[in-house]
Amino acid sequence: MEVNKLEVKKIIDELKDARLVAATKYVGIEEINKLEELGVKYFGENRVQALLEKYEKYDGNCEFHMIGTLQANKVKYIIDKVSLIHSVDSYSLINEIEKQAKKHDIVAKILIQVNIAKEESKHGFKSEEIEEVFSCLKNYPHIKVEGLMMMAPNIEPEKTRKYFKQTQELLNELPEFEDYVVLTQQQNQNYKIVQQFNSFNKAILLGTGTFFEGFDFQSNGIKCVMIAKLPFMNQNNTKYWLMESEFTSTFKDYVLPDAVTRFRQGLGRLIRSENDKGIIVSFDDRLIRSNYKQFFEQSLESYRQNKGDIKQFSSILKKLKKEDKRN
């Protein structure tokens, strides 16, 4: 089969923001090598035997996906050869993937197949079963779910859009933080809490501004810093009143500069080097409405800023997660 180089490059350019998986059911290893040279990084096979034959002959750097129906008794042959299994459609298959992944000491990445159109001829879980499936998968340490897979009905392309939209909406409705460990600040236990936070892949740390300085957070540990309120000194603090006699304006000369410094320290928990990225969220509207907001704004000049509600924050978070997966 001849590879149309111009057409392949055109497709890759058009899909630069997506991950292109080339289905190689009817092509051999020679065509796969040519596609790799043109920039294709992922190849999908729908039959186990064909995948094994091509895998043995292939010596490139790309990844193979299993995109066809997979029988549980054949999982053992491909579990360590594919980077993603697209068609996980039953609990028996989930159990076998966990069993074989454990044997190889790997974490198998999968997509859960959903029969969104409820076609009798198609495999997959019902849409109303998906939340239960995701909840169950928390008990499978050797499986990581990357998303949902759906086969649209064989109808006019324009009419299939609603099924893709329904699948996306179903994915958006799934809880995002259920598998996170929540750690809370405890008296005289801050260093221990930070060590625990650094040891988990997914954790949420709830604490006061005391965590802004003096603690060593791993560079990969923090992706989002949420600041409930600007870190001003409490007016009931004894130190506040003791300084009354030392400054013309205690707030302007000491409290405000101190709060700005603490604010910068909070930002520093997230961005430690030029390669770090993440989200900083402030719930304090004084950051945009007060007559001293410019002092805090100077700390944010190098950041891309958005003003909005919690729904907008959620959409930004999902966008960052997609970018992180592509990278």
Higher-pLDDT residue of 179 and 57 is 57
291-327 pLDDT tens trace: 999 999 888 888 888 777 766 776 776 676 666 666 6
Token pair belonging to 290: 């007060």
User: Residue 205 corresponds to which amino acid?
Assistant: L
153 and 283 inside one domain: no
End-to-end CA distance of the chain: 32
The CATH number of residue 95's host domain is 3.20.20.10
Residues comprising the chain, all counted: 327
Specify if 199 maps to a domain.
no
58 and 133 inside one domain: yes
147 and 265 inside one domain: no
Backbone angles phi, psi at 189, to 5 degrees: -125, 15
70 and 150 inside one domain: yes
72-107 pLDDT tens trace: 999 999 999 999 999 999 999 999 999 999 999 999
Specify if 63 maps to a domain.
yes
167 and 25 inside one domain: yes
Higher-pLDDT residue of 186 and 98 is 98
Specify if 19 maps to a domain.
yes
What percent of the chain has a predicted confidence (pLDDT) above 90?
Answer: 28
Specify if 36 maps to a domain.
yes
Token pair belonging to 190: 């801050």
Distances (CA, A) of 156 to 160, 162, 253: 7, 12, 69
Query: Would you say residue 268 has pLDDT above 50?
Result: yes
**According to the model, what pLDDT value does residue 50 have?**
93
Distances (CA, A) of 101 to 16, 97, 98, 177, 251: 31, 6, 5, 24, 60
252 and 114 inside one domain: no
- Residue ending a domain, among 147, 173, 199, is 173
162 and 217 inside one domain: no
157 and 224 inside one domain: no
Specify if 201 maps to a domain.
no
**According to the model, what pLDDT value does residue 208 have?**
66
Specify if 274 maps to a domain.
yes
What CA–CA distance (Å, rounded) separates 269 from 231? 15
146 and 216 inside one domain: no
Say what the pTM is: 0.56
Distances (CA, A) of 198 to 59, 179, 204, 218: 38, 16, 11, 6
- Whose tokens are 């040279």? That residue is 37
Specify if 92 maps to a domain.
yes
Cα angle, residue 50 at apex, residues 44 and 55 outer, rounded to 5°: 70
Token pair belonging to 51: 């995948």
- Residue ending a domain, among 123, 157, 173, is 173
Domain boundaries, position 133: 5-173
97 and 214 inside one domain: no
pLDDT band at 17 (very low <50, low <70, confident <90, very high): low
